[in-house]
Structure 1
């Protein structure tokens, strides 16, 4: 059984991932600013507490938890994300910064915090977007979100190269549209072709086995464009 850390677990894909891993008998640490949904669900072998990926004290809390209770982390799934849909001429600098703080800098900081606990055969899975893939169809209004997700893709490639000798493996999944609360908040009424449960199933399988075949790869997970 694996020790698995997942961010962005209060709803959508993250919540479904915790459910799947719990049902599979794995031990999970579910991290989200709102810990109530996971706490109320009562999943087995699951620990949760309020966590803001942009706060140094919260990052330290995660390291201390792992050191005290687990000693090692087999899988890290950086799933948390911040999405704002606004014309570039109207988006505020604070919204732009928040996108990068959550989608890039926070991911880098949490990964740094947990790398000392990850074995050679560990796996870091970063959740990006098709909007961050160079050459893909882009949507107006997503200048902050998609550009930050593009930065996350490049960061993943760089970390895979830097740690290819000693591990762990790093891969990034560029997701197409998924029917989540975040998507509905940004694009009310948009009908995504894939449910959060379906995408979580794919991510869970990839997180467990994908590093055996991939390292530093961008996996485009979309049956349509986007």
Structure 2
């Protein structure tokens, strides 16, 4: 049975591959990213895509209206969008931290808040975090804003699972290791990750569809390397 699935950060990398995987299975996908063109070029009847900025309050209303008018409900939300800043802490300004947190934390929070009223009891909110957000994991210099923001969404997921445990939906977070994406190349030129975007997207796709039968309020570390 086809599901209604919302994915953020779909213009490239893991998000773009996720759109393909779900659409090819016949699911209805709302693909959201600041650049809607790559997904628009796919020409799938079951994909809707429009430009969306997690930092723009007005854009959330567009999502709200679309679900209410076109779908009536949503089954799965994948909070995949994020921004990665690699900068020495001494040079990381208030504005830098604010931008990273607005995208990686406040964006996740607000998107989830907007979609929740349309979700069923067995709905699933999957948020993409990072191994860098795991307490006790290997840390890298230059990632103070990024990794701390990824730690914040892990705690947020645990809190939401507790708050909605009687009514649903279920909330889980995947802490990813290094994945070979454009975002990684931009932040760490020359670094080769052991996992491709397609491989990771396949795992996330499967987990989003079935993981909430086994997990709620959990963080799963998805990495074949240490770190």
Mapped to 1, the partners of 2:180 and 2:45 lie a distance apart of: 26
SS in 1 for 2:91: coil
**Deviation of 1:43 (Å):** 2.7
Range that drifts further, 3-12 or 84-93: 84-93
Consecutive unaligned residues of structure 2, counting only runs of 5 or more, are none
Q: Paired residue for 1:181?
A: 182
Q: Paired residue for 1:160?
A: 161
Mapped to 1, the partners of 2:196 and 2:169 lie a distance apart of: 29
Q: Paired residue for 2:138?
A: 137
Q: Paired residue for 1:24?
A: 25
Say if 2:218 is the partner of 1:217: yes
Matches within 5 A, 1:22-171: 22-171=23-172
Alpha-carbon RMSD: 0.6
Consecutive unaligned residues of structure 1, counting only runs of 5 or more, are none
**Deviation of 1:39 (Å):** 0.3
Structure 1 length normalisation: TM-score?
A: 0.99
SS in 2 for 1:89: helix
Mapped to 1, the partners of 2:45 and 2:162 lie a distance apart of: 36
Range that drifts further, 49-58 or 167-176: 49-58
- Say whether the 8 Å CA contact 1:126–1:173 is kept in structure 2: yes
SS in 2 for 1:41: coil
Task: Deviation per CA, 1:14-39: give whole Å up to 9, x if none.
Answer: 00000000101000000000000000
- Say whether the 8 Å CA contact 1:19–1:43 is kept in structure 2: no
Matches within 5 A, 1:194-209: 194-209=195-210
Mapped to 1, the partners of 2:13 and 2:222 lie a distance apart of: 16
SS in 2 for 1:218: strand
Mapped to 2, the partners of 1:130 and 1:43 lie a distance apart of: 33
SS in 1 for 2:135: coil
**Deviation of 1:44 (Å):** 3.6
* Runs of 4+ with deviation above 3 angstroms: none
**Deviation of 1:91 (Å):** 1.3
Mapped to 2, the partners of 1:65 and 1:83 lie a distance apart of: 29
Mapped to 1, the partners of 2:182 and 2:190 lie a distance apart of: 11
Task: Deviation per CA, 1:91-125: give whole Å up to 9, x if none.
Answer: 12211111100000011001100100000000000
